Amino acid sequence: MTDQSVTRIHVAGSAGTDPYDVLVGRGLLGELPGLVGDRARRVALIHPVTLATHAEALREDLDAHGYATTVLPVPDAEGAKSAQVAADCWEALGRAGFTRTDVVVGVGGGATSDLAGFVAASWLRGVRWIAVPTTVLGMVDAAVGGKTGINTGAGKNLVGAFHPPAGVLCDLTTLDTLPVHDYAGGLAEIIKAGFIADPVILDLIETDPRAARSPHGPHTAQLVERSIRVKADVVSCDLKESGLREILNYGHTLAHAIEKNERYTWRHGAAVSVGMVFAAQLGLLTGHLDERTVRRHSSVLGSVGLPLSYRGDQWPKLLDTMKVDKKSRGDLLRFIVLDGLARPTVLEGPDPDVLAAAYREVSA
């Protein structure tokens, strides 16, 4: 049972998929068996090794409700998103006799959600899955929208599938023990939602940046809920990134290149922070964005402890990586920039000299 009111955010089905709800509140983990439902007999619980105790509590609850639960520990963070880890999960599902009516549950951060969703999408060409995100990043980004995937040597998330979850449980109590750097990293995606769609998010953070860095801050629930609503509205209209959904990639083109360059040792939110500062500069240099909003990027992101720059000598490598970004079309580089606050647009084929100039502004 929950220990206070629950916010339900509805994500409408699109592209032939079923709608689902994202539940946000405190003390929600007891809701998991209800989401699994009566048709399932088996549950696969995929979790990072660091959440073994948390996963065991969920297993006991699922077992008590009559499900045969298979617990699948995987590496922490981006280390989970490999073809080998996915294959290990498939083998475990086969040994457990997993059928089309059974359910995969992903418990953990964004990387675990990406992996669990991909395993569910590819097993028997698609079984139901439920996301139980335990980080800010997982709650506001990876768990919502149905983009699942793993990494390869060529880049991040280049292998995957669109496979929305059957439900999402965002239990805010799981954030209480999250390390401060992980918590702050998740704020990058919240701030992104503020710049592309909901400026109230920026206002709330600017009111008290220090409080925004804490799960016990007065606006935590509102920041999480507002960010989820931004994503829910977008993916309800465009599941498969055929148009509108691209705006959710604001700052991500450079961010993914930085992550690959750092062999995924950088937190995703840290890379997205630098990516948004770069995108703001790119918007300014191409006549899209005003200087005040550009400065606001650095101000808001810096106020919560996120990085604003990256190594200047890495530009050639980063540019090569960005050329294989999912938004690219052939040799045409494409970036999301802002025409103004909450007015995202696509910038196609920017001049290479302009790109380099924008990167110089974020070079350490």
Other C-beta atoms lying within 10 Å of the C-beta of residue 299: 13
The domain 180-360 is placed in CATH, from the list 1.20.20.10, 3.30.565.10, 1.20.1090.10, 3.40.50.880, at: 1.20.1090.10
10 is catalytic: no
Radius of gyration, CA atoms only, the chain: 20
263 is catalytic: no
Q: 7-175 adopts what CATH topology?
A: Rossmann fold (3.40.50)
pLDDT of residue 16: 67
Residue from 42, 47, 128, 231 carrying the catalytic annotation: 231
* Banded model confidence at residue 229, pLDDT cuts 50, 70, 90: very high
Q: Which residues are annotated as a binding site for Zn(2+)?
A: 189, 252, 268
* Banded model confidence at residue 145, pLDDT cuts 50, 70, 90: confident
Residue from 213, 256, 297, 327 carrying the catalytic annotation: 256
189 is catalytic: yes
pLDDT of residue 240: 60
291 is catalytic: no
pLDDT at 2 over 70: no
Residue from 54, 128, 219, 268 carrying the catalytic annotation: 268
Residue from 59, 147, 226, 296 carrying the catalytic annotation: 147
CB 50 within 8 A of CB 111: no
pLDDT at 326 over 60: no
CA–CA dist 9, 167 (Å, integer): 10
Residue ranges of the domains in the chain? 7-175, 180-360
pLDDT at 79 over 60: yes
How do strand 155-162 and strand 147-152 relate by DSSP bridges? antiparallel
CA–CA dist 48, 318 (Å, integer): 29
Which residues are within 8 A (CB) of 253 and not within 5 positions of it... i.e. 6 or more apart? 275, 279, 322, 325, 327, 333, 334, 335, 336
Quick: pLDDT tens for 155-193: 888 899 999 999 999 999 999 988 888 899 999 999 999
Amino acid identity for residue 350 in this structure: P
pLDDT of residue 63: 94
pLDDT of residue 364: 67
Quick: pLDDT tens for 18-44: 889 999 999 998 899 999 999 999 999
Which of 182, 5, 2 shows the shortest CA–CA distance to 76?
182
Mean per-residue pLDDT, 57-78? 94
pLDDT of residue 36: 95
pLDDT of residue 155: 80
268 is catalytic: yes
Q: Kindly report whether the global pTM for this prediction surpasses the value 0.75.
A: yes
Q: Which residues are annotated as a binding site for NAD(+)?
A: 76-81, 110-114, 134-135, 147, 156, 174-177
Q: Which residues are annotated as a binding site?
A: 76-81, 110-114, 134-135, 147, 156, 174-177, 189, 252, 268
Which residues are within 8 A (CB) of 316 and not within 5 positions of it... i.e. 6 or more apart? none
pLDDT of residue 235: 82
Q: What's the whole-number average pLDDT of the chain?
A: 92
361 is catalytic: no
